[in-house]
Amino acid sequence: MAKQASKNAKVKDTKAAADAKVWTKVIRAVRSPKSGAYTFKEAIVHKDKVQEYINQK
């Protein structure tokens, strides 16, 4: 018989869960000036600031 999901497994702090939805993980490919190879930079950015992060050099 399958185990039922515990009710305690749900998020207790709904405000914190709602705040987490406004953040986005952004991954940029950055070219190395020395070798020419691409590396990837990851950042957690507020959803309103994504374009600013992508456009910065």
Whether 47 is covered by a domain: the verdict is yes
Whether 1 is covered by a domain: the verdict is no
pTM of the predicted model as reported, rounded to 2 decimal places: 0.58
Helix, strand, coil in percent for the chain, rounding step 5: 35, 30, 35
pLDDT value, residue 11: 59
Whether 6 is covered by a domain: the verdict is no
pLDDT value, residue 17: 76
pLDDT value, residue 46: 94
Whether 2 is covered by a domain: the verdict is no
Whether 44 is covered by a domain: the verdict is yes
Whether 8 is covered by a domain: the verdict is no
Per-residue pLDDT of the chain (57 residues; tens, 9 = 90+): 566 666 655 657 777 777 788 999 999 999 999 999 999 999 999 999 999 999 987
pLDDT value, residue 35: 94
Residue 41 belongs to what domain range?
16-55
Nearest Cα to 47, choosing from 19, 11, 16, 13? 19
What's the domain count of the chain?
1
State the Cα angle at 27 between 23 and 29, rounded to 5°: 155
**Cα separation of 46 and 23, whole Å?**
4
Whether 20 is covered by a domain: the verdict is yes
Whether 3 is covered by a domain: the verdict is no
